[in-house]
Amino acid sequence: MDVPATAGLPAWVKWLAQDADGAWWGYEVEPLQHHKGWYENEVGRRHRVAGGEKNAQWASSLRKVR
């Protein structure tokens, strides 16, 4: 799993996570996990960071970046 670079992300992005379909998202607050990815639970913002290949290990992708 290649974690995208954090340079150039909005300053409010504090977390990165990858969904099962390979998409990487940046979150303002720690996201919650659902059956195939992550969601912000209507708290904070999210930002699509990058695409990617499907990842069966997506559930272990959550990273704090700031």
Give tens-digit pLDDT for 37-55: 999 988 899 999 999 899 9
CA quadruple 7, 8, 10, 14: dihedral, nearest 10: -10
Give 8-22 pLDDT, tens digit per residue: 999 999 999 999 999
30 CB-side CA count, 13 A? 3
pTM more than 0.85: yes
- Separation CA 31–CA 28 (nearest Å): 8
- Separation CA 7–CA 9 (nearest Å): 6
Do 20 and 55 touch, CB atoms closer than 8 A? Answer: yes
